[in-house]
A and B are shown apart, each in its own frame.
Chain A
Amino acid sequence: QSALTQPASVSGSPGQSITISCTGTSSDVGGYNYVSWYQQHPGKAPKLMIYDVTNRPSGVSYRFSGSKSGNTASLTISGLQAEDEADYYCSSYTSSGTLYVFGAGTKVTVL
């Protein structure tokens, strides 16, 4: 089982906003500002969307934003578009002895 908990699926209509949660513990999400988010389309490599909780890499749409409260990080997609339909994974640094952990992923469906 994954160390970080994500909802299996989230859906929304075009133009709406959706939020994906990523829940961990004080040993990972809650203890450090080292959460990143990845988008993955079928058959493609993952793409970094957010790093260090809130930072957006160059070239990533402003519609993607990240936040954190306690042991839960969140990715919000505003102005949902058809091209946003994909799997999304959160990842965090962990002090538990390894280095990084991923969530199980969330499938985003644009209705």
Chain B
Amino acid sequence: EVQLVESGGGLVQPGGSLRLSCAASGFTFSSYEMNWVRQAPGKGLEWVSFITSSGSTIFYADSVKGRFTISRDNAKNSLYLQMNSLRAEDTAVYYCAREIVGATGSDCWGQGTLVTVSS
């Protein structure tokens, strides 16, 4: 079964840091590009970051550029999101999502992990 499982969310103070992980199983993780997408409580989806299968090319949304770092470890079938200088507006459920090979769209999503930034 193809599966993505996020972890690492929690409550953090403004200005703090958090590292999210996404464990992949049931498919050849190293062959797929990956995304992080977030959803603030009661709000819509917001694309956060993208990484190619090898990790050689990375993109970020303007809202997180310079504060968040996406990475992956293909040997561990894992995707990461290091989040620094967190702000209240970063409060959201964070999803990792697998990109379709050779096309545009995420065909597999994790269940999400909640990040709450509050004092």
Interface residues of chain B: helix, strand, loop or mixed (majority):
strand
**Best-surrounded residue of A38, A55, A91, A99 (most CB of chain B within 10 A):** A99
For window 11-49 of chain B, which residues contact chain A by CB distance below 8 Å?
Answer: 35, 37, 44-47
Q: Of A40, A45, A48, A99, which is within 8 A of B105 by CB?
A: A48
The answer on a CB contact under 8 Å between B104 and A51 is yes
Interface size class of B (residues with CB under 8 A): 20 to 34
Tell me if A110 counts as interface (CB < 8 A to partner B). Answer: no
Chain B residues contacting A47 (CB-CB under 8 Å) are: 109
What is the bound-complex CA distance between A46 and B95, given in angstroms?
Answer: 9
Instruction: Tell me the minimal C-beta distance from A8 to chain B in angstroms.
Output: 11
A contact residues, total (Cβ < 8 Å): 28
Please tell me which stretch of B55-63, B71-79, B83-91 contacts chain A, meaning at least 4 of its Cβ atoms lie within 8 angstroms of it: B55-63
The answer on a CB contact under 8 Å between A101 and B47 is yes
Known A98-B59, A105-B44; contact A45-B112, beta-carbon cutoff 8 A: yes
Instruction: Tell me the minimal C-beta distance from A99 to chain B in angstroms.
Output: 4
Q: Of A40, A45, A51, A91, which is within 8 A of B100 by CB?
A: A51
Tell me if B82 counts as interface (CB < 8 A to partner A). Answer: no
For window 92-109 of chain B, which residues contact chain A by CB distance below 8 Å?
Answer: 95, 97, 100, 103-107, 109
The answer on a CB contact under 8 Å between A98 and B109 is no
Instruction: Tell me the minimal C-beta distance from A49 to chain B in angstroms.
Output: 9
Chain A residues contacting B109 (CB-CB under 8 Å) are: 45-47
Tell me if B111 counts as interface (CB < 8 A to partner A). Answer: yes
Report 11 cross-chain contacts, Cβ distance below 8 Å, ordered by A residue: A36-B104, A47-B109, A51-B104, A51-B105, A52-B104, A52-B105, A57-B107, A89-B44, A99-B50, A99-B59, A100-B35
